[in-house]
Structure 1
Amino acid sequence: MLDRQKKARHLLLQQLNSGGFTLIELIVALAITTIVISLTGTGLYALMKANQRSQIETTDRLELEQALAFITDEIKMSRQVQANISWPTTPTTAIGNFNPASGSSQIQPILVLIPASSSRLKDPIVYYLADPPNSSVWSGQRVIYRWGPTLLQNGNYSDGDGHDIALISPTATIEYYNEVLVDRISDVAPAQASIACESSYSYSVPSISTRLGFYACIAPDEKSVKLWMYKQKTSSAKSVSIDALVVTRSN
């Protein structure tokens, strides 16, 4: 009877041993699982980074398109684009009462728009490049500022207090403000090597070593403007660019 019980117990242990895994098999399985999880994690991280870069590029392009649309509309509303600004220039010379943003540096006017006679504006509107102030929420390398009166929802200019200047006294004071139009403008010259203007255009593109990401080439009649903008988060990130040819329509 005892021998029979021992045999039965021995058979049971054999069955249990035959249905399990050895220590070596468990270690190999664990190693394979670790490798698979590591590869999956690496691939997922790479996918997330690629998606993040794509989102940044999409956002940058959208911001450039919105900025270009705004500038384009204001050029069309203008009588002419002043062409007698040089590279570089003293920003307060021969540009009306132009007063750059407080705390900004490396100021370079790019577009000086002469308003239409019907607008009743006495000073030009200036788009210029500058380094953002140290305390600014805007990112470098450069930002595009606009110096001019605010615009109302109906497309007319405001006096600064929300009044349509077409409806107030011609002698009323019209306030001009500095506002950032778009930031993260590139200062990486090689990305902007393809810019070119006709030789007859007044505002020729600066040499490649001094390019700063926002350019305007102006036709001799001061009515047609070629614009370029380059946006770049960091010097190693992909540059996003946009360009257009715009013609003034007002008198």
Structure 2
Amino acid sequence: MPRWTCMNALTEYFQGPEGRRIAYRHIPGTGPALVFLPGYMSDMAGSKATALIDWARESGRECLLLDYSGCGESDGAFADGTLSRWRDEVVALVTDRIEGDVILIGSSMGGWLMLLVAEALGGRVAGLVGIAAAPDFTDWGFDADQKAQLSRGETVFEGNPYGPDPTPTYPQFFADGERSKKLDGPIALSMPVRLIHGQRDSDVPYAISLRLAEKLRSDDIQVVLVKDGDHRLSRPQDIALLLRVVGDLAAASPAERTQTP
């Protein structure tokens, strides 16, 4: 049964690809719809996702949160998760629940996933917002020994600064990530893009956002560097910045202008 959370946003379930049951929260409102894509081993209960849907409700905007399979309230095992699998889940859910355009908001790994989702959704994507976006982290995020271990089919465990248990990377995820890299060449996405990155991010160098900005075909790109910001960017001032960036981008989108008298 659904349950109430996030200022009365219902948790519902969608029968996703291959029958996987995907948990999501969706509120109606004006478009373009805001779609939040969590990071690696994260879910829609995080502070940024919660702040976004609460702000969207107060602003009368459509918003969609979700848990990838194996995460949060969705079915499945995290060990089976890959970027391609989670991309297909997001695309299926957006196609089923949202009629108009969307703005994709990706945090960390979600910033990689938003590129794959944007390619699949095409002209429906009115904008992208990356928060410490981490495209291609299977390439630059592991040393040679770790890559060799993953290539042999072994799981790599790393220290987790956000919890007591180590963070696993599974061979299946690594192999799919290597096939899904985006920074080796031009990225043929032309919608407006906003990238927010902390300069004290110890997990994803802010140079990754600068590199992503160079690779994207769009000319409408702004990179916002937060000098004292860490990877999570979850302080009140960081969330206020995120909501301001999202609000400005949504208000400037063609879909928004068509709804304004």
TM-score, scaled to structure 1: 0.21
TM-score, scaled to structure 2: 0.20
Which structure has the bigger radius of gyration? Answer: 1
Structure 1 or 2: larger helix share?
Answer: 2
